[in-house]
Amino acid sequence: MSSFHNGGVEIAYLDEGEGEPIVLVHGFASTKQVNWVYPSWVSELKRNGRRVIALDNRGHGESSKLYDPELYHIPTMASDVTALMDHLGIERADIMGYSLGSRMTAWLACSQPQRLRSAILGGIGIGLIKGGGPGENVAEALEASSLEDVTDPVGRTFRAFADQTRSDRRALAACLRGSRRLMTEEEVAEIKVPVLIAVGTEDVIAGSAQALGKIIRGAEVLDIPKRDHMRAVGDKVYKSGVLEFLSRRK
């Protein structure tokens, strides 16, 4: 495991391949392995001549587990991404997020556009502004004694996923409570870097990709057919659409 420290927080990461860098930022309750390695994103991007960097977000995977929600605000989590880029001597990169990772990526595209060649927002639509993703019901499900004690269907989905990935559920609950800040429409409209929005057509968590695309000037929208929030990640339409988008970022 490669890692570095952003302040007192240890961030685990991988850095593979050669070429133009792309940074991958996983979703809530996932890891760099689950979100990007196992669905073959890393190998596919390397085959297409890219240097691939992926981190475990704080509270996730092999990175530091923190239990104070105040340490998981979106700007704070996003600072781990730019700190990793600084650690590796990367001034500017394409950045692709998924779900929570897309919230972090969108924040960087708005606040530090000089660090991004482009932003790929996977698994997030108008929910970036209007919300609607996992809430306190999921945090409570993560803190429940067992999956059998969880009756909320969305809570059960995320709890089962956290159990499957052997995550630190208390850290995830803190992350969920701390990372709830939404972006305003005015902030999102300030995004000027090239943007691709990729959402499954059956994703009820992300919100409308088309609605978000109308707010970000020049944004492209990629529908991932017949995929929900969890199953869109490894879809071939998603991959081919991203690779085509990146091929135009000379």
Residues 191-241 pLDDT 10s: 999 999 999 999 999 999 999 999 999 999 999 999 999 899 999 999 999
Would you say the C-alpha torsion 51, 62, 175, 79 has a positive or negative sign? negative
pLDDT of 1: 77
Establish if 20 belongs to a structural domain: yes
Does pLDDT of 133 surpass 80? Answer: no
- Tally the domains of the chain: 1
Position 250 confidence tier, pLDDT thresholds 50, 70, 90: low
Mean pLDDT of all residues belonging to the chain: 96
Rounded Cα gap, residues 128 and 124, in angstroms: 6
Determine what percent of the chain is predicted with pLDDT higher than 90: 92
Question: Which of 59, 120, 145 shows the shortest CA–CA distance to 244?
Answer: 120
Distance CA 133, CA 154 (A): 9
CA R_g for the chain? 17
Classify residue 160: in a domain, yes or no.
no
In a domain, 57, yes or no: yes
Residue 241 domain flag:
yes
Give the CATH number of the domain where residue 222 resides.
Answer: 3.40.50.1820
Residue 166 lies in a domain: no
What range defines the domain where residue 26 resides?
2-130+182-247
Domain contains 73: yes
Residue 116, SS3? strand
Kindly report the pTM of this predicted structure.
0.96
142 in any annotated domain: no
Tens digits of residue pLDDT in 74-102: 999 999 999 999 999 999 999 999 999 99
